[in-house]
Amino acid sequence: MSKIEQEIAKRRTFAIISHPDAGKTTLTEKLLLFGGAIQTAGAVKSNKIKKTATSDFMEIEKQRGISVATSVMTFEYNGLLINILDTPGHKDFAEDTYRTLTAVDSVILVIDCVKGVEEQTERLMEVCRMRDTPVIIFINKMDREGQNPFDLLDELEQKLNIKVRPLTWPVNGGATFKGVYHLLEKQMYFFKVNKTKVEDDVALLELDSSDLDEKVGERDANQLREDVELIEGVYDTFNRDTYLSGKVAPVFFGSAVNNFGVRELLEAFCQISPLPAPRPTNVRTVDPLEKKFSGFVFKIHANIDPRHRDRIAFLRVCSGVFERGKFYHHTRLDKSVRFSNPYSFMASAKEVVEEGFPGDVIGLYDTGTFKIGDTLTEGEDLQYAGIPSFSPEIFKELINLDPMKGKQLDKGVQQLTDEGVAQLFTVQPGNRKVVGTVGELQFEVIQYRLEHEYGAKCRWVPMNTSRACWITSEDPKKLQEFIRLKGTQIGYDKDDNPVFLADSEWMIRMNRDNNPDIQFHTTSEFKVIAG
Ligand code: G4P
């Protein structure tokens, strides 16, 4: 094996996703604990946008600072180099999460066994399904009285549009939770309340042995036998290929806060999760083993110190080897760029790196040359596919309060929307600026940052719009006609694509029915794929 093959074989890059409060932060922390990347529980805890803090700017600033440090967490386990890409839990930052999902090779989805599938879970999974990202499901909080596990599995299949396959199975739940039976290892893992230490109480137990009755009690042993029989009858045997193709999600049960079920999850993850795979671009599919480097920016983070305008761009390496100080081709700007201090995120301390391999995420200091989705190569003109913009849900018009600072305001809005904080649409006449977001919090963040980082003051005027649809047509004349007819309901996104700004789903449906020659797209992805 060549060096690059070895390095690729070692890498696993993934994200943990969940509805807020299901236990993503806790699970992340426990995985890091197993990986030895942190020594004590509680270290990752602060990486949460406080759920109540919707207007505490300093809190937002502080959180932004923390989340740079914990945006990517790298640790070694069983000879693998594991990169966890953090995704903000707060709903208002969902767009950030969607984009991060384009930079991972797989995900672990955390479900709260009491609440089952929640709103955010569905939306996040939709994004995973769009690119067939392999998913492992962790059903958390088994120490609480939750739903019947079979019902939970049915709910997962129905609401998430994916088949599931349990690999561990709980013996009871809540106050009488005894542990999980590993269906492949045929071992019983006994549950203990254990918040800080990493240790297991495991017994190899054949289902039909009397030892099982002795250890878990006759009634529960019989229930387990019955359940397992049903599982083996209802669900197909687990097959790694169907998992890798995103069609079947293996399911584990546990209690993250008690370190329970986490090791089995991690072990299985190491065995089955995908290594960096070939990725589509607008020109061709790029194999990670290719000699030449390529990668794309999936996240941009502003410096938390407003006196320094520099930002950090997060680059996912897709092929070849990224080298410090080498010139690379910025395909959108058609210019050469080099980075003298790229850094990695090993053990949460920023370290300058000499090289990066496919699967790695590298932090690049940026003075404004990057936009989300930008691609770097060794000269080839290509653009990685699949950084879609999703329709925002809240739209407001941006009004400049200081005519002397128009330029600063323009620059600020431009840069903040490049970072992906929100989407900017221009509406005619008068070049009106409409900002669309998925949460109220972003408007406060933008207003605050415009003032503190760019010296520009603004106010917001709410709009009735609640959906944006990118519009295309095979007939350019029909498209122009539609745009003319809709007037101020048409905006242009940053790449000058026309977007229909609608009041409601109903209005979109009506316009879709009345205009069969116009295609309405809910994400901007169509254009990337179309090249
Ligand atoms: P999130 O990142 O998905 O938003 O969730 P987070 O890990 O912060 O967990 C949300 C809450 O659920 C936390 O309680 C956490 O301790 C708890 N939790 C996580 N795993 C389990 C589990 O296996 N069993 C039970 N019973 N609870 C669990 P909190 O009260 O918000 O925080 P804390 O004060 O306990 O730290």
Q: Can you give the CATH number for the domain in which 515 is found?
A: 3.30.70.3280
299 is in which domain, residue-wise?
279-377
Is 41 inside a domain boundary?
yes
**Encoded tokens for 308:** 């320094």
The lowest-confidence range among 70-84, 156-170, 321-335 is: 70-84
Whether residue 187 contacts residue 202, with contact meaning beta carbons closer than 8 Å, is answered with yes
pTM across the whole model: 0.84
Helix ranges (H only) for 35-180 are 57-69, 94-100, 119-130, 149-160
Report the share of the chain in percent with pLDDT over 70.
86
| Residues 58, 36 share a domain | yes
Q: How far does the centroid of ligand 1 lie from the alpha carbon of residue 149, in Å?
A: 20
Ligand 1, residue 27: give the atom nearest the CA. 7
| Residue 359 shares a structural domain with residue 455 | no
Of 60-69, 352-361, 382-391, 407-416, which range is least confident? 60-69
Strand (E) or helix (H) holding 192: none
Q: Where are the beta strands (DSSP E) in 401-481?
A: 423-427, 432-437, 458-462, 467-473
Strand partners, 12: 82
Reported as a pLDDT band with limits 50, 70 and 90, residue 209 is confident
Kindly give the distance from the C-alpha atom of residue 23 to the centroid of ligand 1, in angstroms, as a whole number.
5
What is the residue with the minimal CA distance to atom 4 of ligand 1?
21
To test the ligand 1 pocket, which listed residue (18, 26, 30, 90) has its Cβ within 8 A of the most ligand atoms?
A: 26
22 in any annotated domain: yes
Structural domain includes residue 348: yes
Same-domain check for residues 104 and 252: yes
What is the average pLDDT across 94-98? 77
User: Letter for the amino acid at 312?
Assistant: I
Same domain, 361 and 498: no
Q: What does the longest C-alpha to C-alpha distance in the chain come to?
A: 83
Question: Is 410 found in the same domain as 343?
Answer: no
Model confidence at 23: pLDDT above 50: yes
How many domains are contained in the chain? 3
Examine the domain organization and report whether 263 and 289 are in the same domain: no
Same domain, 351 and 486: no
| pLDDT for the residue numbered 50 | 42
End position of a domain, from candidates 319, 350, 377 = 377
Tell me what pLDDT residue 302 has. 72
Using the atom order of ligand 1, give the atom closest to the CA of residue 22: 3
* pLDDT score of 336: 96
Is 188 within the bounds of a domain? no
As a whole number of angstroms, the distance between CA 38 and CA 29 comes to 8
Q: Are 134 and 217 in contact (CB under 8 A)?
A: no
Residues 476 and 516 in one domain: yes
Whole-angstrom distance, CA of residue 467 vs CA of residue 312: 30
φ, ψ at 196 (rounded to 5°): -120, -30
Q: What is the mean pLDDT of residues 488-515?
A: 92
Above 80 in pLDDT, residue 231?
yes
Q: Are residues 159 and 35 in the same domain?
A: yes
Give the model's pLDDT for residue 68.
56
363 CA distance to ligand 1 centroid (A)? 30
Distance CA 175, CA 178 (A): 9
Residue type, 422: A
Q: Is the pLDDT of residue 199 over 70?
A: no
Residue where a domain stops, chosen among 345, 377, 409: 377
- More confident of the two residues 343 and 38: 343
In whole angstroms, what separates CA 383 from the centre of its chain? Answer: 20
Residue 305 lies inside a defined structural domain of this protein: yes
Query: Residue 229 Cα, ligand 1 centroid: separation in angstroms?
Result: 33
Q: DSSP string spanning 227-273? A: HHHHHHHHSPPP-HHHHHTTSEEEEEE-BGGGTBSHHHHHHHHHHHS
Nearest CA to ligand 1 atom 14: 21
Contact 135, 162 (CB under 8 A): yes
- Of residues 310 and 382, the one with the higher pLDDT is 382
Task: Say whether both 27 and 47 belong to one domain.
Answer: yes
Whether residue 119 is found in the same domain as residue 268: yes
- The answer on pLDDT for 41 being more than 70 is no
CATH classification at residue 66: 3.40.50.300
List the strands of the sheet with 202-204, edge to edge: 168-171, 179-182, 187-190, 202-204
Q: Is residue 217 part of a domain?
A: no
What is the Cα–Cα distance from 300 to 372, expressed in whole angstroms?
Answer: 7
The reply to whether 204 falls in a domain is: no
For ligand 1, the distance from its centroid to the CA atom of residue 420, given in whole angstroms, is 29
**Domain endpoint, select from 377, 407, 439:** 377
Q: What residue ranges line ligand 1, CB within 6 angstroms? A: 18, 20-26, 89, 140-141, 143-144, 255-258
Give yes or no: residues 362 and 464 share one domain: no
* Among protein residues, the one whose CA lies closest to atom 22 of ligand 1: 141
Residue 93 has pLDDT above 80, yes or no: no
For range 262-268, the mean pLDDT: 93
Q: Is residue 425 part of a domain?
A: yes
Q: Which atom of ligand 1 is nearest to the CA of 144?
A: 26
For the chain, counts of helices (H) and of strands (E): 15, 31
pLDDT per residue as tens digits for the range 346-397:
644 567 889 999 999 999 988 888 988 899 999 999 999 765 677 788 999 9
Cβ atoms 292, 319 nearer than 8 A: yes
